[in-house]
């Protein structure tokens, strides 16, 4: 069964450093997303991406964040200068296969710890 994959599973970084989180969405999907979940809190939407551009973003997704689809398979989230409060689980999701355009399937997540 096709699934969303994410790398790395864990990332530890120093405050102020740049991190890139990587995702491979399900191959025939057209819509890609990033969400985050701070420990003990709800899952929060960051950004959606379609047709090589951002289609929607939340207030969390400020100038420190960027997304890119560098090739036909990868989808990345870059945090330019990490802050302590960026520590969270980051989930990539994808949707858009056939008639279930809205159903989003999540990857296993990347646990980011900013020290």
Partner 1 sequence: QKEVEQNSGPLSVPEGAIASLNCTYSDRVSQSFFWYRQYSGKSPELIMSIYSNGDKEDGRFTAQLNKASQYVSLLIRDSQPSDSATYLCAAINNAGNMLTFGGGTRLMVKP
Residue numbers at the binding site for partner 1 (CB under 8 A): 31, 33, 35, 41-45, 48, 55-56, 58, 89, 91, 93, 95, 100-109
User: Reduced to 3 states, what is the DSSP secondary structure of residue 30?
Assistant: coil
Query: Are the C-beta atoms of residues 43 and 35 closer than 8 Å to each other?
Result: yes
Nearest approach in angstroms of CB 89 to partner 1 is 8
Nearest approach in angstroms of CB 10 to partner 1 is 11
Q: Which residues of 83-110 are buried (b: 16+ CB within 10 A; e: fewer)?
A: eeebbbebbbbbbbbeeeeeebbebebb
State phi, psi for 56 to the nearest 5 degrees.
Answer: -160, 145
Q: Which of 55, 74 has the CB closer to partner 1?
A: 55
Q: Which of 6, 82 has the CB closer to partner 1?
A: 6
Q: Which of 50, 64 has the CB closer to partner 1?
A: 50
Nearest approach in angstroms of CB 12 to partner 1 is 16
């Amino acid at each position: 069964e096709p699934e969303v994959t994410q790398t790395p599973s864990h990332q530890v970084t120093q405050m102020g450093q740049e991190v890139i989180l990587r995702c491979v969405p399900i191959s025939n999907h057209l819509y890609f997303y990033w969400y985050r979940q701070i420990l003990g809190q709800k899952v929060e939407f960051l950004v959606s991406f379609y047709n090589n551009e951002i289609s929607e973003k939340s207030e969390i997704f400020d100038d420190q964040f960027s997304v890119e689809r560098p090739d036909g398979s990868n989808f990345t989230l870059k945090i330019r200068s990490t802050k302590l409060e960026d520590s969270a689980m980051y989930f990539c999701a994808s949707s858009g296969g056939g008639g279930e355009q809205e159903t989003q399937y999540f990857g296993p997540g990347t646990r980011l710890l900013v020290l």
